[in-house]
A and B are shown apart, each in its own frame.
Chain A
């Protein structure tokens, strides 16, 4: 583990009640890299992001952000860590009663004592970087889902974070927005000198921008890491789960069908109908 790693997971386990979600996961985000975390729907990727931001606490193991362990951390210390992070939610989570401008200005108003003129300049610069300076005065209800996510991205980077976390940034985007967003993530990471964690299951775009990729697979005791490495090495991997996931194949370790009784039993009355 490098001392400059902004984020380190050490044997982290987590579950919601009796349902295990993460199984003894160890992972490190290196300074300056874009790390993609991939895996099927519901495998626990978003939960990983929530663990990284301290929105939920691990049941065992430790999550360390900027060399600060999040286990038993005080409210003040947790907020100090979060001020150095930016989190992009899957659907943007914009404040619906504020305009795009005010959404981006929100963290600046809450955490700084900058003048109104300075806030205006920063907000317009951030909106310009996501191509939405012209939409500054629009309300979230007046823009598309893809635009909302870009405004949310501008808000996430308003305080120039050292670590940016993206939750499914490509979900539901058209091909143009998808390509633009992917390149934007790479460009912002390099321009800000930050580190980024992208949680996604979009293979093509992720392989184009990520420095390393971690792949999660479901297990009986929760999600576990099956591979971590550079895109080229993962493409050449012979791991059956990885091959099935990357190529989108129906046959493989992960079944397409939810466990059910035999088909003929369901239709001819031997099994109870739903």
Chain B
């Protein structure tokens, strides 16, 4: 005679299975929406103004926070880098350390995290509220495809804005490192810049950092659009969606950063 399964265990297994199926379903919906937007991206070549407006909107939203954060990260890097390098008598390499840290890692990653928190949540709330206010349904009823008219320009906008913001973040960060290293501590100015220009490779460092920023921009913007588009059309639904954008967007950036770093810099 077989022993019956305890009801508590059965409930837990069912709940676990239900959660797994729900995650799988969401992942499928995310991918389908992404493909739907990708299919409509070529339409934007005929209407570049829609994309320009989004680059302007998303860029403006995050510009101040990106520049200020970049400056502070650069200042801290300058200080920490100097005290670490001094142990080995390599203070002149401060410029190289600051530049490589920013261009390879901190620029794209921190920019994407800040973008998810600032512009990403704004995107999710905007799309969610458009849905709650029946604006997306109104568009459909007017024979205007909301995926092409609303989502595609925003994805293209994020794709363009994040690399530009990451570049600005790195540039301002390097200026921060220079202010601390050269301006305050007294590291040799010539050594600071020459070590940097000699040690930072365009393809291996700058371009790989830019590729990271492009990937992060695409992923974070798509996550923001997905959660906004699939939000329940209620205040609580929109609130949950914006939270999900920050949490999932940030985790995705950090996880992808590891994968991309392994692929780009470890020779896998």
Contacts and interface: CB of A to CB of B under 8 A. Distances in A.
Interface of A: 53, 55, 75, 78-80, 82-83, 85, 87, 89, 91, 93-96, 106-107, 110-111, 155
B143 A55 contact: no
Contact of B141 (A53, A96, A111): A53
B38 to A, nearest CB: 16
Contact of B138 (A79, A80, A87): A87
A110 B137 contact: no
B137 A55 contact: yes
Contacts of A106: 142, 144
Contacts of B135: 93-96
22 contacts: A55-B140, A55-B141, A78-B143, A82-B140, A82-B141, A82-B143, A85-B141, A87-B138, A89-B134, A89-B137, A89-B141, A93-B133, A93-B134, A93-B138, A95-B130, A96-B129, A96-B133, A96-B135, A107-B144, A110-B143, A111-B144, A155-B142
Contacts of B134: 89, 91, 93
Contacts of A95: 130, 135, 138
B149 interface: yes
A91 to B, nearest CB: 7
Contacts of A80: 143
Nearest to B126: A97
Interface string B114-146: 000000000000000110011101101111110
Interface in B193-225: none
Nearest to A85: B141
Given A80-B143, A82-B142, A87-B142, 20 more contacts: A53-B141, A55-B137, A79-B143, A82-B141, A82-B143, A85-B141, A87-B138, A87-B141, A89-B134, A89-B141, A93-B133, A93-B135, A95-B135, A96-B129, A96-B135, A107-B142, A107-B144, A110-B142, A110-B149, A111-B143
Contacts of A111: 143-144
Nearest to A95: B135
5 nearest A-B residue pairs (beta carbon): A82-B143, A93-B138, A93-B134, A79-B143, A87-B141
A89 B142 CA distance: 11
A85 B145 CA distance: 15
Interface of B: 129-130, 133-135, 137-138, 140-145, 149
A83 B149 CA distance: 16
Contacts of B133: 91, 93, 96
B141 A110 contact: no
A56 to B, nearest CB: 10
Nearest to B144: A110
A93 B137 contact: yes
A89 to B, nearest CB: 5
Contacts of A82: 140-143
Contact of A83 (B137, B138, B143): B143
Most buried by A among B133, B134, B142: B142
Contacts of B142: 82, 87, 106-107, 110, 155
A75 B134 CA distance: 20
B228 to A, nearest CB: 15
A194 to B, nearest CB: 16
Nearest to B134: A93
A110 B143 CA distance: 9
Most buried by A among B135, B141, B144, B149: B141
Nearest to A107: B142
A156 to B, nearest CB: 8
Nearest to A53: B141
B134 to A, nearest CB: 4
A79 B135 CA distance: 17
A26 to B, nearest CB: 24
A79 B130 CA distance: 20
